[in-house]
Every structure is written in structure tokens, then in C-alpha cells.
Amino acid sequence: MSEYADTVVRVRYAETDQMGMVYYGNYYIYAEVGRVEYMRQHGIDYRQMEIDDDCFIVVAESKCRYRRSARFDDPLRIRTRVTELRKRTVRFAFEIFHHETGELLANGETVHVVCDRNGRPKALPDKYRGFFDVAPASDGTSKE
Amino acid sequence: MSEYADTVVRVRYAETDQMGMVYYGNYYIYAEVGRVEYMRQHGIDYRQMEIDDDCFIVVAESKCRYRRSARFDDPLRIRTRVTELRKRTVRFAFEIFHHETGELLANGETVHVVCDRNGRPKALPDKYRGFFDVAPASDGTSKE
Amino acid sequence: MSEYADTVVRVRYAETDQMGMVYYGNYYIYAEVGRVEYMRQHGIDYRQMEIDDDCFIVVAESKCRYRRSARFDDPLRIRTRVTELRKRTVRFAFEIFHHETGELLANGETVHVVCDRNGRPKALPDKYRGFFDVAPASDGTSKE
Amino acid sequence: MSEYADTVVRVRYAETDQMGMVYYGNYYIYAEVGRVEYMRQHGIDYRQMEIDDDCFIVVAESKCRYRRSARFDDPLRIRTRVTELRKRTVRFAFEIFHHETGELLANGETVHVVCDRNGRPKALPDKYRGFFDVAPASDGTSKE
């Protein structure tokens, strides 16, 4: 089980804006795709976690640094880590690379609170705890 | 009570694509804004309709013709009509104009089935029926 | 060279709405992904077509029928055909299946006008013409 | 000329996700609406700035804290300030309130670099400089 999970997506036309690059808010969609894939690769089916365990991973904070612009049809490699796991919170870091050139295009992190369907915080069920593999942050983004 | 409802929105940067105009799928978001506003102006709070009456207006068909491109920051006037009301279905027509020049930029329609939260079709509750004001279609779009 | 192109995507959380299914306008994003992939599988790099040939495939009409709802994390198979090719217009048909069950979830079509970057219609360059493989429509959606 | 600009939007159905609240990435769209409105209220037409002055306000960083969930049809008041203005960079802070209850739902900031259409940093033209009204940050979000 790797400490990170990689997944590759292509930039869609819908995700660009009139500046000819990916709209800044859409990197957070890539980050979400990365988190779901991280969980899948670590044995967690997030869809079932919501249904079976009444367990929602609600976003409490998000941030991103944009380094180079992603463009239509670029293949992006989304690399996702868990950098902190507490009783009720999980912190994910993401890096988005151009899949062919390897350039880092953007990176950031998201902090999540485990909640029930009514938005009340709850502890992450023990059965999931072991699936997360906490990695030290790869750069300064999670230390602020 | 007018047979149509108008509402004005401004094109957001996020809604454009690298062609420098509104992404074609986003006109359907404007159509949704128009439908919700039509209902509000006719006395229906769609949010409460979902909660209080377990009544969802699920889309079964949609179509749109794009005539002139809408661009960032353009003010758009969305005009919405109900062109057909049956026991379990509602048909809306929408026209999107440039609010200042009056030019027709796009028009189309959506057909909806009234469903409960599990997606089972049901009759539109009588209490809502009177609020809809069926107008003849203003052009050929609903006759195809 | 097949008369259709298939590509598989997973439904993203961002694409769902509070009804718990894919927002109706987002099926048009899938249709766009399908068109780009159709072109790629038929030897056309759409990104380069815009840059090298000042050739944009602008949407003039779109429509979709929603048959069963797509849900978060569902794998979708998008099947795309060209059903008509004229001097300046191209008609694509798309079908969206649940990739595992094979159920048809939605289908529709889009009509496009070939334009230069200023939105003026132009003929599709001959060099691209041979790459399109016109297939008869698989159902009634393109005959209305 | 106020040190902040307020604008009100309603949450669209398209902006919700299956958790029944606004998708976390969409708050950045509200932040963009706020920035454009800030500029308009301070005498800058951002659309013309791109066209007339080859001046793009590219996002370099973004962050957001989510405090309470925004829901479909909620009226949101977006409050935008400029908290820092340098030769080539601008920092905006945004707060999103429930327009009726006044509750703070989310807040964050975005950092921008002024660029030409090719993405090269350039100085903000003097003619725009006077229009920005730098306000001290209203909370800790811009001090990290």
C-alpha cells in the first residue's frame, strides 16, 4: 500500500475558461477525484461509506497554489496523500502534475471533518482507520 | 400572474470556456435558474416542495438551440414559460436574451416528471397545479 | 476504424446535485468528452485543430433524453457517433451507458457548425473530412 | 467608495452536491463573482481591462474555510476586499454570509498576479491603481 495514490485525468473543454486555461476553482474537482481514488486504492469505497456508515467527509478548509497553467486536453496526474489523521479530522495533500512532462502545475490541501448526514461531527469508524496511510507532508503547504 | 417569468443573471468567468463564450452545457444552468424563478414568481417555493411534499421535478428531456454567443459579464434575461402541464409531467420553454440589446441568444425546453425522493413518478399535488400558467409555445421548439 | 468511439469516465462528486444524481446539464460535459475522444480515436487532435487550422466546432443545437439516473462513482461508457457530415456542419450522437450493467442512462445529439476564431462559419478543411466516419443514427433521436 | 463591495447571489441547484449543500469548489465561483463586482463598484470593467489593456488577473493562490453549509436557494451575500496591492500582485479577501440571517458561511482569500495574455507577469497599469482601496484584513485569513 503506497503512501500516495496517483490517478490520471484529461482536462475537459468545460473546465477551461476564456483565459484558455483551467478555471481556478476546477482544480478542487481534480483534488476530489484524487481523494476518492486514494480511498479506492486503500480499500475504501467512499460511496458505500456514506450509505453504510452514515459517514461523510465534509470539507472544512481548502487551499491551492497555482504554479503553471493546465490547458485543454492536458493529461494530469493527481497525486494524493493523507498528511494527518485525527479522531474526527483528515488532512489530504494533493499535487497535480502534467502527466507527460512531469511539471508540477498546482498543489494544495484539504482538511475534512467526519460527519453524519445531518452534519454533526463524529469519529471516523475504526474499521476505516487502518486504511489511511499517513505520510509526512511533501512540502510546506500543510505546515502553515 | 404573467404567463412567463423573467430573471436576469450575469455571465460568470467560470461559465466561459477557451472559445471565449459560455460553454454550451451551462445554458442549462440558466434554464434551471429560470425555472426556479418561474416557480417563485408563481407562488411555489421549490425548495419546500422537495422537503414538504416529497416532490421532485426530475428532468426527462432537454434541448437548446444556440443562436448567438453569450460572453463574460453579459447580462442575460432568462424568460421561462410552462407550455404543457399533465398529471405527472411539466414542460418548460426558456429563452435567453441579451438583456441590453434584446437579442435572442439561445432557446430551448425541458420536460420533467414529478417524482418522489426515490425516483418514482407521482402526480403533481393539486395544491401546486393552479400555480402553473400554461402558455402556448412561442416558437417551434416544443413542437418537434 | 470503428464507426463509434467508446470512452469510460467515473461520475465525480462535483457532478451530482442534491437529488443524489448527476445534474442534468452535466451529461453534456460527458458528451463533449465523448466527441473529443471520438476525434482522437479517428486521428484528429481537436486541440491542434483549433490552433493549427483556426477551426472551431461550435455547438448550434443540443439535446438529451434522461432514462435512468447516473450516480456518484458510477462508471459511465460514453459512445459517440457522427451521424451527419456536411460542408460546414457535423452532427454527433451520444449514448451514455452504465459501464458495468450496460443499461442506457441517457442519449442525445449535438449539431455543430465549423467556425473560425471569430465565429464565422467556414468549411471543414478537407484534410479532416476523411477522418469522420458517418454512421446511421442508432435510434430516433437524430430524426426529429 | 467603500473599502468592500457586497453582492448577493442565490445558490443554484447545479451548485449543490449529493450531500445537499454547495460543493466546496463552487465557493470559489462566488469569490470570483465578488471580485468582478468589487471591480465594477470601484470603476473597473474587468472585461475591458482584458481587452483594452492586455491585463489578466491570474490566480496564484486560493484558500477557503467552510464554517456552515450553504444550501439550495439560500441568498448569499459576498463581501470582497482588497487586502494587499503590490506592483504586480493583488490580494482579495472574501466572506460569504447568509444574506438573511447574517451568518458567516465561508471566508477565504485569493492572490493574483497581473499578466498579459501570454501569461507573463506585468505591472498593473497606473490608471487602475487608484481604483483599488486597500483595507486591513478583517480576520486572520490573510496573515498566514
For chain A, say whether B70 makes contact (Cβ under 8 Å).
no
- Give the span between the Cα atoms of C16 and C9, in whole angstroms: 14
Grid cell listed for A108? 494544495
Q: Quick one: pLDDT at residue C1? A: 57
Grid cell listed for D78? 459576498
Convert A79-116 to b/e letters by CB count within 10 Å (16 or more is b).
bbbbbbeeeebbbbbbbbbbbeeeeebbbbbbbbbbbe
Name residue A102's amino acid.
G
Name residue D87's amino acid.
K
Cβ neighbours of D127 (radius 10 Å):
10
| D143 φ/ψ angles, rounded to the nearest 5 degrees | -100, -5
In this predicted model, what pLDDT tens digit does every residue of C3-51 receive, in sequence order? 999 999 999 999 999 999 999 999 999 999 999 999 999 999 999 999 9
D60 and A60 within 8 Å at the Cβ level: the answer is no
pTM for this structure?
0.94
For chain D, say whether A46 makes contact (Cβ under 8 Å).
no
In this predicted model, what pLDDT tens digit does every residue of B99-134 receive, in sequence order? 999 999 999 999 999 999 988 999 999 889 888 878
Grid cell listed for A28? 478542487
For chain B, say whether A140 makes contact (Cβ under 8 Å).
no
For chain C, say whether B59 makes contact (Cβ under 8 Å).
yes
> Angle D24-B28-B70 (CA atoms, 0-180°, nearest 5)?
100
C56 bridge partner residues: C115
What are the start-end ranges of the H helices in chain A?
27-41, 46-53, 126-129
In this predicted model, what pLDDT tens digit does every residue of A76-135 receive, in sequence order? 999 999 999 999 999 999 999 999 999 999 999 999 999 999 889 999 998 898 888 788
Interface test with B, best of A11, A12, A16, A18 (most B CBs within 10 A): A18
**Alpha-carbon separation of residue D37 from B93, B119, D70, D123 (angstroms):** 30, 39, 20, 22
Could you tell me the sign of the dihedral formed by the alpha carbons of C105, C108, C114, C119, in that order? negative
In this predicted model, what pLDDT tens digit does every residue of C59-103 receive, in sequence order? 999 999 999 999 999 999 999 999 999 999 999 999 999 999 999
- Give the span between the Cα atoms of C18 and D20, in whole angstroms: 4
Q: Which residues, 6 or more positions from A101, have their beta carbon under 8 angstroms from its beta carbon?
A: none
Grid cell listed for D122? 506585468
- Give the span between the Cα atoms of A19 and D50, in whole angstroms: 9
Q: Quick one: pLDDT at residue B143? A: 40
- Assign 3-state DSSP to chain C and report helix, strand, coil percentages, each to 5: 25, 40, 35
Nearest Cα neighbor of C24 from C69, C62, C61 is C69
pLDDT in tens, chain D (144 residues): 579 999 999 999 999 999 999 999 999 999 999 999 999 999 999 999 999 999 999 999 999 999 999 999 999 999 999 999 999 999 999 999 999 999 999 999 999 999 999 889 999 998 898 888 788 665 544 443
Which residues of chain C neighbour B65 with C-beta distances below 8 Å?
A: 60-61
**Alpha-carbon separation of residue A48 from A6, B92, C13 (angstroms):** 21, 36, 13
- Give the span between the Cα atoms of C82 and C88, in whole angstroms: 14
Q: Quick one: pLDDT at residue C96? A: 98
Name residue A32's amino acid.
E
Grid cell listed for A120? 454533526
Nearest by CB: D66 against A24, A29, A60: A60
D33 and B46 within 8 Å at the Cβ level: the answer is no
Q: Quick one: pLDDT at residue C143? A: 40
Q: What is the ipTM of this complex?
A: 0.92
The residue of chain B with its CA nearest to that of D30 is B12
- Give the span between the Cα atoms of D55 and D46, in whole angstroms: 9
Q: Map residue B54 onto helix, strand or coil.
A: coil
From edge to edge, which strands make up the β-sheet containing C4-10?
B4-10, B75-85, B89-98, B104-115, B56-66, C56-66, C104-115, C89-98, C75-85, C4-10
Cβ neighbours of B61 (radius 10 Å):
18
- Supply the DSSP symbol for D125: P
Grid cell listed for B127? 395544491
